[in-house]
Amino acid sequence: MVTAVTNTEPRRRNRRGEGGKLRDEIIAAALALLDEGGDERAVTLRSVARKAGIAAPSIYPHFADQPSIMLAVVQQEMDALAKVLREAGDTAAPDARARLFAVCNAYLDFAKLHPQRYRIMFGGLWTPSVEDTSITDADLDSLGVEAFTLLVDVLGACVEEGIAHGSDDLFGDAVALWLGLHGLAHQRAVVRKMPGPADVGDRLIRALAHLK
């Protein structure tokens, strides 16, 4: 994950061939603004440029508009989520039930650790109309695919091993499980004290995965 950069002096120009570095710094600046304020409306071309220590026109070779910066932020965080889920599944005990719980709890932990970023990843005011920006439907449709595929895989493994009751629609079952995780993650983020038992997450996973 890119570390936010806050400059107190005018930024030195990148040498030829370092345009990718500037792009990363722009994304890092946008993330820093989100982490500080928790509101995507704070991310404007001018505020990002100021945070990165560059002139606003320097953004345009890398991003066409503000929504394209936000898209890059969300793509980066979705990649980070997928990495966390993959590592959780890879390091869990070598059985399907353990991998399922490891991946689901890693999802909940990610949302708890990064509540502002998580909220923006799955909605928020940044989501634009494709008619008004440089973003396409394909860009939006691709968000979160890798992370969701990992959830489908671990749930499918439980069905294959006879740990979970299968259905004719594994994809639909995985969507239901994800919606449950997402609802719990969101609720934890918006209430001061979460009601219910401490193991509500495990209960939700067992119920929505149809574990035996």
Cα atoms found within 13 Å of the Cα of residue 162, Cβ hemisphere only = 0
Other Cβ atoms less than 10 A from the Cβ of 199: the count is: 10
Model confidence at 120, pLDDT cuts 50, 70, 90, reads confident
Residue 156, amino acid = G
* Model pLDDT, residue 167: 86
Higher pLDDT, 211 or 116: 211
C-alpha 43/C-alpha 67 separation (Å) is: 9
For residue 171, give the nearest of 152, 199, 197, 196 by alpha carbon: 152
DSSP class of 41: G
Model confidence at 114, pLDDT cuts 50, 70, 90, reads confident
* Model pLDDT, residue 18: 57
* Model pLDDT, residue 20: 77
Residue 211, pLDDT above cutoff 60: yes
* 11-63 classified as CATH 3.40.190.170: no
C-alpha 41/C-alpha 28 separation (Å) is: 16
Mean pLDDT of the chain: 87
8 Å CB contact between 3 and 25: no
Report CA torsion sign: 94, 197, 115, 112. negative
Looking at the chain, the whole-number percentage of residues with pLDDT higher than 70 is 87
Domains 11-63 and 66-209 share a fold: no
- Angle between helix axes 145-160 and 66-91 (nearest 10 degrees) is 30
State pLDDT tens for residues 149-180.
999 999 999 999 999 998 899 999 999 999 99
* Model pLDDT, residue 28: 96
DSSP class of 42: G
| Domain boundaries 66-209, corresponding CATH code | 1.10.357.10
The ranges assigned to domains in the chain are 11-63, 66-209
Write the DSSP string, 66-134: HHHHHHHHHHHHHHHHHHHHHHHHHHS-SSHHHHHHHHHHHHHHHHHHSHHHHHHHT-STT---TTTSS
In this prediction the pTM is 0.84
Distances in whole angstroms, Cα of residue 19 to Cα of each of 52, 122, 164: 14, 29, 49
Model confidence at 4, pLDDT cuts 50, 70, 90, reads very low
Task: Say which range, 103-107, 136-140, 158-162, has the weakest mean pLDDT.
Answer: 136-140
Model confidence at 12, pLDDT cuts 50, 70, 90, reads low
Phi/psi of residue 87, each to 5°?
-65, -35
Model confidence at 72, pLDDT cuts 50, 70, 90, reads very high
For residue 84, give the nearest of 121, 110, 108 by alpha carbon: 110
